[in-house]
Chains A and B, each alone.
Chain A
Amino acid sequence: MQIDFSSYFDYVFALLPEIVLATSALVLLVYDGFARRDASDSSAVGVLSLVAIGAAMLANVWLMGLEEVGATGMIALDGFRIFTNFMFLAGTALVVLISLDYTKREGITDGEFYALLLFAVVGMMLLAGSRDLILIFIAFELMSIAVYALVGFKRGDPRSSEAAIKYFLLGAFSSAFLVYGMAMLYGAGTTTNLGLMRTTLGTGQVGVLAFMGMALLVIAFGFKVSAVPFHMWTPDAYEGAPTPITAFLAAMIKGAAFAAFIRIFVVALGDLHPYWEQLVWWLAALTMIVPNLIALVQDNLKRLLAYSSIAHAGYLLVALVSANESGTAAFLFYLVAYTVMIVGAFAIVLTFAGKGDRRQRLSDYAGLGYSHPWAAAILALFLVSLAGLPPTGGFVGKFYILRAAVEAGYVNLAVILAVTTLVSYWYYLRVIVTMYMKPEVEAMGKIAWGPALRLALAICAFVTVYLGILPSWPLLKAHDSVQDLRQVAEQVAKVDTPAQR
C-alpha cells in the first residue's frame, strides 16, 4: 500500500500503531472507572494493556508493508521508526510484566497506572518517528506528562512525591529549552520539517540563530537523556519512583529522547556536524566520566543503577557524536541490549526490595548468591552485561559503539569509554562481591516473584545472552533500519534543492 501524505487521511494509516494504542489507553481508562473497585487489584487492566501492546505490535508489522510517496510527511515511515516502535512496545511489555507483581505487592489499585504507561509509549513512538519539530514537541510533552504522574504514583510515599516534583520541575525547564531551541531553528531554517531543514540549513553559513537553536536543543535533550551536567534530577527521581517506572525511565524514555535527538541532529542537522560536534563531544565525555566516578560510592542499589544508566547515556552519546551509519545502528543495537539488561536489573532489585521497597541497600545483598541462587545469578548476568563483558549483549553493543567512534575518528572518545568502563567494573563487581563473597547478615527469607515477573526476567536474560552470542541477525536488522534513514534524508535533499533554487 502506498501512503501519500498530501492526503491527510493517509495519516490514519501511517499512525495506526499509535492510534491503536491511544484508543486502547482511553478504553482502559473508562474500563477502569467502571470496573468494580472491591477487587483491590489492577492486574486486569495490566493484562488488557498487554493485549493493547500486542495489537499495536501487529499494526506495526503491518506498517512494514507500507510505502511512502515523497518524504515530507510529519511522520516518518522508515526502518528506524519501525525498529524503535518494536523496541518501545516490547520494552513496555516487559515493564508491564514486572509491574503486575509490583502493583499487587504495593497495593496500587488504580488501573490508571497502565493507561498512563500506554500514553507515555504513544508519546515515545511519536517522538522517535516524527519528522517535524512541532510533532516532536507534542510527543515530548505527551510522554513527559504521563511519566511525571507515574513517578509520583505512590502517593503515600514521600520519596515518590519528592521524585515527581524534582522530575517535573526540571522536566518543565527542559521543555522550555526545547521549545526555545525549536523556535530559533525555525527562525534560521524557515521550516519545521526536518527533511526540508536539512536543505535550508545545510547550505551556506550557519548564523547565530541556528547555532543557539542547536545549543538549546542539546540542553533539552541532555535533560531528558540525563547527560552530565543536566543529570541532577536523575538519581533522586530514579530512587523515589516506583521501581518498574524507574526501569521505564532508564530504558525507554532515554531511548525515545535519543531517537529524536538522532533524528534532529544526525539526520536533519547532519551537515552541521562540525558545529554541534564539540558540544556533544564534551557532553559525552562528561557523561561517561562523572557518573562512573560517583557510582563508586553508592550504597543504594537503585541509585547505583541510576548512575550506571547515566553512564550508559554517555556511551550512547558517543554513538551519536560519531554521526555515521554505524553510530546510528550501534545506538539501535545498544538500546535493545541496554533495555533488557537495565529492566532486568531493576526487576531483580524490585524483587529483593520486598514490600514497601525497603531492602535496597548494598549490604542487604550480602550472601544472596547462595540463599537465592537464581535471582542472584540473573542479577550478576545483567551486571556483567552492563559492565560490557563478553559474552553478553552489553559487550557486543559496546564493541559496536567503539567501532563507530573509531570509524568517525574519535579515538580519544573511544579511549575515554574504555577507561571509564574500567572504572565501572569496580562498582558492578562490588555488587557481585557482596552477593557471592560476603556472608549473609540478615536472612532475606522467601522472595515473592510471580510468574509474570519471572517471565520478564527470563526474556531479559535470554535476550542478553542471545545478543552476546549470536548477534548477527539483530545487528543486520539494526544496520538495515538505519539505511533508509539516511536515504530519505538525502533524497529530500536531492528532490528539494533544485526547487529551492
Chain B
Amino acid sequence: MSLLANFYSTHWVITFLIFFPLVAGFACLFTPRRQLRYVAFAAAMIEFLVSLPLFWTFEIGRVEFQNSVAIPWIPDWGISYALGVDGISLLLILLTTFLLPISVLVSWLQIDDKEHLYYAMLLALATGMIGVFVALDLFLFYVFWEITLIPMYFLIGVWGHERRIYAAVKFFLFTAFGSLLMLVAILVMYWLQLDQSGVPSLAYGDLLQVNVPMSLQYWLFAAFALAFAIKVPMVPFHTWLPDAHVEAPTAGSVILAAVLLKMGVYGFLRFAIPLFPQAALDPTVVKVVLVMALLGIIYAAWVAAVQPNLKKLIAYTSVAHLGFVMLGVYALTGQSVTGGVLQSVNHGISTGALFILASFLYERRHTYEIAEYGGLAKVIPVYSGALVVVGLSSIALPGLNGFVGEFLILVGSFVRYPWVTVLAATGVVFAAYYMLPMIRRVVWNDVTIEENRKLLDLSRLELAIILPLLFLIVLMGVYPKPFIERIAASAEVLSEQIILLAEEGVGSPVEAVAAGEISDSNPGTR
C-alpha cells in the first residue's frame, strides 16, 4: 500500500502517464491486427485508471506544485526533467486521459485502414499532451509542445477526409511558426537568466525570478503570446482550425478541440503572462488581447451560425468558446481564471461529445451537411436526446457544465473589465443563435429525406462512448464544487501574484534599469 501511496505522492505517477502511452503506442505497431484495437483500448484505459486517483490524492488548497521533481537532464545547460502538477494542470491532465479511451473507442467505429500506425500515433499524442501540462522546464516544455505536432499531423493527413493533406500541413505550419519564434524567445530568456544569476537554467521557478528589461519584455511576450494565440486559436490566427477540424478523423477532432487548444490557454496562464507580467498587463496589450477574445466570441459565433457543415459549425463554436476562456484568463481574478480553466475542461467534454455525435451521423449517412438531416427525433430518439443535451451544455444552460464555467468567467471578469464582459455576455445569446437552429434543423422538423427514416439508433458501443461524456456534463453542471476547489487555490494565487508583479513593475524595474544605466555612465550621481 505504501508503495502505491508513494507512487501517487511522487513524480512517478506523472512520469508513468507521460511515457506509458509512448511505449504502448510503440507496442501497437507490432501487435497482430486482430488484437490491435483491444490492446489500444486497454492501454488507453490503463492510462485513464492510473491517472484517476490523482483527482483525490491532489491536495486541495496547496499552492505549490505537487508530484514535482527536477532531475538534471543536460546539467551543463541547466536543463532538467522538471515536472509538477498544480490546480491549473490537474484537470487538464485528467481531461486528456479521460478522452483517450473514448477516442480509441470512436476510432474502432471509424478507422479500418493502417490501424497499427493510427493507434500508435493516437497514443503517442498523449505523451506530448500530458508532457506539456506538467513540464516545468522550458526546454522540456518545448520538446513536448513540438512532439504533439507530428502525431496530430499524421492523424489528420493520413486518416482525414478529402482535403486532409492541405489541412494537415496548414495545421503544422501555423503551429510551428508560432513555436519557432517562441524558441528564440526562450533562448533570450535563457541568456537573460544566465546573465543575471550566473548559472544557466530554464527551470520555471528560476525564470520567474528573471528581471526582464521592459524593452525586451514586449518582444518576448509577443513571441510567446503569438505561439499560444495560434494554438488557442484567437481570431485572427484561427483559420487553420476549421480546416483541421473538418478534415480530421473524429478522434483527431476530439483531441484537437479538447486538449490541443487548451495547450495554448495553458501556455498563457503558465508562461506568457507570469513570465512577462508588465508587458502582458500593459493597457495596450490588454486591449489588443481583449479585442481578439471578443472578436472570437462574437465573430466566430456569427460565422458558426451560417455554416451548412456540422463539423465546421462545431469548429467555429470552439473558437467562440475559447474566446470566453481567454477573457477569463486575461481578466486575472481568482474567479475568472478558475472559470477559464474549468471552461477549458467543459469545452473539452462538450465539444468532444459534439464531434463524436456528429461522427455517429456521418457513419450512418456519410455527410456532415446539416440540410441532409431533419426530424431525427422521431427516427432515432436516443441519439437526438444526447445531441440536445450536449448542445445545451455547449451553450451553457444552467444545470449543465458549460454554465458553471461561463458564469465564473463573466462574474470574475466583470470586476475588472465591465464593458468587455457585457459585450462578451452577448456571446451567450449568439451561442443559442447558432446552436439551437442547428439542433432544430437536425433533430426536430419533419423528416424530409427518405433515407433518414431507416437510420438505426445508437448501438451499445456508441452508447458506451457517449454515456461517460453525458455523465460528466451533468455532474459538472450539478455539483461543480470538487472541480472548482481543485482549481481555485492555484488560480487565485497565480492571478494575485501576476497583478502584484505587474503593479510593482509599472515603476520599479524600469526605474531600476534606468537608474542602473545612469549609475553606470556617471558613477558620481548616486
Partner among A403, A426, A476 whose Cβ is within 8 Å of the Cβ of B169: A426
Question: Are A411's CB and B188's CB within 8 A?
Answer: yes
B74 contacts A390, CB within 8 Å?
Answer: no
Judging by beta carbons under 8 Å apart, are B164 and A437 in contact?
yes
Q: Say whether A403 contacts B173, CB under 8 Å.
A: no
Q: How many B residues, CB 8 Å from partner?
A: 34
Residue contact B172 to A429, C-beta cutoff 8 Å: yes
- Determine how close the nearest CB of chain A comes to the CB of B145; give it in whole angstroms: 9
CB of A230, distance to nearest CB on chain B (Å): 27
Closest CB of chain A to B348's CB: distance in Å? 25
Shortest CB-to-CB span from B310 to chain A, Å, is 25
B114 to chain A: closest residue by CB: A370
Residues of chain B lying within 8 A (CB to CB) of residue A475: 74, 76-77
Contact of B73 among A399, A414, A425, A472 (CB under 8 A): A472
Instruction: Say which one of B175-183, B233-241, B392-400 lies at the interface with A.
Output: B175-183
User: A258 at the A/B interface (Cβ < 8 Å)?
Assistant: no
In the assembly, what is the distance between CA of A415 and CA of B149, in Å?
Answer: 21
Q: Which of A96-104, A169-177, A264-272, A416-424 contacts B (4 or more CB under 8 A)?
A: A416-424
A384 interface hit (Cβ, 8 Å): yes
Query: How far is A418 from B188 in the complex, measured between Cα atoms in Å?
Result: 13
What 0/1 pattern do residues 156 to 190 of B give for CB contact below 8 A with A? 01100000110011001100110011011001101
B150: contacting residue among A389, A403, A406, A479, CB under 8 A:
A389
Tell me if A202 is interfacial: C-beta within 8 Å of chain B: no
Q: Is B191 part of the binding interface, using a Cβ–Cβ cutoff of 8 Å?
A: yes
With CB as the reference atom, state the residue of chain A lying closest to B73. Answer: A472
Complex interface bits, A84-118 against B, C-beta within 8 A gives 1, otherwise 0: 00000000000000000000000000000000000
* B180: A residues at CB distance < 8 A: 418-419, 421-422
Distance of A433 Cα from B117 Cα, bound (Å) = 14
List the A side residues contacting B172 at CB < 8 Å: 425, 429
Query: B358 at the A/B interface (Cβ < 8 Å)?
Result: no
Pick from B142, B154, B165, B168: contact of A390, CB below 8 A. Answer: B142
Please determine whether A390 and B169 come into contact, CB atoms closer than 8 angstroms: no
Chain A at the B interface: SS class: helix
Which A residues are in CB contact (< 8 Å) with B117?
Answer: 369, 436
Q: Considering only CB atoms, which chain B residue lies closest to A387 in the complex? A: B176
Q: What is the minimal beta-carbon distance from B124 to any residue of chain A, in angstroms? A: 11
Cα A384 to Cα B150 with chains together (Å): 9
Q: Does A54 contact B (CB under 8 A)?
A: no
Cβ contacts under 8 Å, A436 to chain B: 117, 154, 157-158
Chain A residues whose CB sits within 8 angstroms of the CB of B73 once the complex forms: 472
- Taken residue by residue from 370 to 389, chain A's Cβ proximity to chain B (1 for < 8 Å, 0 otherwise) reads as 10000000000000100001
Say if the beta carbon of A471 comes within 8 Å of chain B. yes
Is A407 an interface residue, CB under 8 A from the partner? yes
Q: Contacts of B187 on A, CB cut-off 8 Å? A: 399, 402-403, 406, 414
Q: How far, in whole Å, are A369 and B113 apart by their CA atoms in the complex?
A: 13
Return the contact of A415 from the options B75, B139, B173, B181 (Cβ within 8 A).
B181
B146 close to chain A: CB less than 8 A: yes
A429-B165 Cα distance, complex, nearest whole Å: 10
Question: Is A391 an interface position by the 8 A CB rule?
Answer: yes
Cα–Cα distance between A384 and B117 once the two chains are bound (Å): 17
Q: Given A422-B173, A437-B168, A471-B74, A390–B146 Cβ distance below 8 Å?
A: yes
A161 CB to closest chain B CB, in angstroms? Answer: 39
Partner of B177, one of A402, A407, A422: A422
Cβ-defined partner of A418 (8 Å) among B154, B181, B190: B181
Query: How many residues does chain A have at the interface if contact means C-beta atoms less than 8 Å apart?
Result: 30
B154–A472 CB distance below 8 A: no
Q: Which residues of B contact A414 (CB under 8 A)?
A: 184, 187
B147 at interface, CB cutoff 8 A: yes
A369 → chain B closest CB, angstroms: 8
* Nearest CB in chain A: distance from B141 CB, A: 11
Interface status of B143 (Cβ within 8 A of chain A): yes
Q: In the complex the two chains form, is A415's CB within 8 Å of B76's CB?
A: no
- The answer to whether B176 touches A425, judged by C-beta atoms less than 8 angstroms apart, is yes
* Chain B, residue nearest A391 (CB): B143
Complex interface bits, A408-448 against B, C-beta within 8 A gives 1, otherwise 0: 00010011001101100110010001001100000000000
Which partner residue on chain A sits nearest B190 by CB separation?
Answer: A403
- Partner of A406 from the list B147, B173, B188 (CB cut-off 8 Å) is B188
Bound state CA distance, A419 and B178, in angstroms?
10
Q: Produce 1/0 per residue, A396-407, CB < 8 A to B.
A: 000100110011
| Min CB–CB distance B230 → chain A (angstroms) | 12
The answer for the CA separation of A110 and B463 in the assembled complex, in Å, is 70
**Closest Cβ of chain B: how far from A482's Cβ, in Å?**
13
B residues in contact with A433, CB < 8 Å: 157, 165, 168-169
- Shortest B32–chain A CB gap in Å is 15
Question: Are B76 and A472 within 8 A (Cβ)?
Answer: yes
B188: nearest residue on chain A (CB-CB)?
A: A406
Alpha-carbon gap, A419 to B299, bound state (A): 30
Pair A422/B176 contact, Cβ less than 8 Å = yes
**Residue among B77, B147, B157 with most chain A CB within 10 A:** B77
Given contacts A370-B114, A403-B187, contact A476 B76 (CB under 8 A): yes
Q: Contacts A418-B180, A421-B180 given: A389-B169 contact, CB under 8 Å?
A: no
A423 nearest in chain B by CB position: B173
Residues of B69-90 at the interface with A, using a CB-CB cut-off of 8 Å, are 73-77
From the candidates A402, A411, A471, name the one contacting B183 in the complex (CB within 8 A).
Answer: A402
CA distance A311 to B73 in the complex (A): 29
Contacts of A395 in B (CB 8 A): 143, 146
**Closest partner residue, chain A, to B191 (CB atom):** A406
A437 is contacted by which of B75, B165, B173 (Cβ under 8 Å)?
B165
In the complex, which residues of chain A have a beta carbon less than 8 angstroms from the beta carbon of B177? 422
| B168 partner residues in chain A, CB cutoff 8 A | 433, 437
Q: How far is the CA of A436 from the CA of B158 in the complex (A)?
A: 7
Bound Cα distance from A123 to B150, whole angstroms: 41
Which residue from chain A places its CB closest to the CB of B77 in the assembled complex? A475
* Contacting residues, chain A, for B169 (C-beta < 8 A): 426, 429, 433
Pick from A406, A411, A471: contact of B190, CB below 8 A: A406
Given contacts A429-B172, A436-B154, A472-B76, contact A399 B146 (CB under 8 A): no
Partner of A391, one of B75, B147, B164, B190: B147
CB distance from B151 to the nearest CB of A (A): 12
Nearest Cβ in chain B — how far from A376, in angstroms? 11
Rounded to whole angstroms, the CA-CA distance of A378 and B113 in the bound complex is 22
Q: Mark B102-141, 1 if CB is under 8 A from A, else 0.
A: 0000000000001001000000000000000000000100
Q: Are A425 and B173 in contact (CB under 8 A)?
A: yes
Chain A residues whose CB sits within 8 angstroms of the CB of B139 once the complex forms: 399
- What's the nearest-Cβ distance from chain A to residue B125, in Å? 14
Looking at A384, A406, A479, which has the most chain B CB atoms within 10 Å of its CB?
Answer: A406
B114 and A479 contacting across the interface, CB-CB below 8 Å = no
Knowing A390-B142, A426-B169, A436-B157, the reply to whether A472 touches B184 (Cβ < 8 A) is: no
For the complex formed, measure the closest distance between the CB of B467 and the CB atoms of chain A, giving whole angstroms. 34
Tell me the minimal C-beta distance from B225 to chain A in angstroms: 16
Contact indicator A472/B75 (Cβ below 8 Å): yes
Measured between beta carbons, the chain B residues less than 8 angstroms from A389 are: 146, 149-150
In the complex, the 6 A-B pairs of residues with the closest C-beta atoms, listed nearest first: A418-B180, A390-B143, A406-B187, A437-B157, A472-B74, A414-B184
Query: Could you name 18 residue pairs across A and B whose Cβ atoms are closer than 8 Å?
Result: A370-B114, A395-B146, A399-B139, A403-B187, A406-B188, A415-B181, A418-B181, A418-B184, A419-B181, A422-B180, A429-B172, A433-B165, A436-B157, A437-B164, A471-B74, A472-B73, A472-B75, A472-B76
| A residues in contact (CB < 8 Å) with B | 369-370, 384, 389-391, 395, 399, 402-403, 406-407, 411, 414-415, 418-419, 421-422, 425-426, 429, 433, 436-437, 471-472, 475-476, 479
Contact surface of B with A, Cβ cutoff 8 Å:
73-77, 114, 117, 139, 142-143, 146-147, 149-150, 153-154, 157-158, 164-165, 168-169, 172-173, 176-177, 180-181, 183-184, 187-188, 190-191
15 extra interface residue pairs, beta carbon distance < 8 Å, beyond A390-B146, A402-B184: A389-B150, A390-B143, A399-B139, A403-B187, A406-B187, A406-B190, A418-B180, A418-B181, A419-B180, A425-B173, A425-B176, A436-B158, A437-B157, A475-B74, A475-B77
